[in-house]
Amino acid sequence: MFLRQQVQERQVVVDHNLCFFCGACVAICPPDSIFLDNTHLSIDDKTCTRCERCVRMCPVHALSMEP
Ligand code: SF4
Ligand code: SF4
């Protein structure tokens, strides 16, 4: 239970200097927690399961999982 709480406290962080809005992370996210328009990418922490698929998918490493 304690471990689960620790996992949930981590969150995906976007480096807006690196993201070029390719949409790859949006397509790979199982619960559709990533939202993208032409100028901004955001992540819904309430539905994100912390699976890290988006972190591994991003071609320019713009996403990271941080405490
Ligand atoms: S960690 Fe998983 S659930 Fe969360 S935004 Fe990335 S792909 Fe979606
Ligand atoms: S995969 Fe990376 S570069 Fe592409 S939209 Fe997502 S965060 Fe941006």
pLDDT at 2: 55
pLDDT at 4: 54
Residue whose entry in the numeric block shows the structure tokens 């981590």: 10
* pTM reported for the whole predicted model: 0.88
CATH code at 34?
3.30.70.20
Residues of the chain by 3-state class (helix, strand, coil), percent to 5: 25, 20, 50
pLDDT at 5: 53
Residue nearest to atom 4 of ligand 2 (CA): 22
Pocket lining for ligand 1, CB < 6 angstroms: 12, 28-31, 33-34, 43, 48-54
Instruction: Print the domain residue range for 34.
Output: 2-66
In the chain, the number of structural domains is 1
The per-residue pLDDT for range 7-50, each reduced to its tens digit, is 568 999 999 999 999 999 999 999 999 999 888 999 999 999 99
pLDDT at 9: 85
Tell me: pLDDT of 53 over 90.
yes
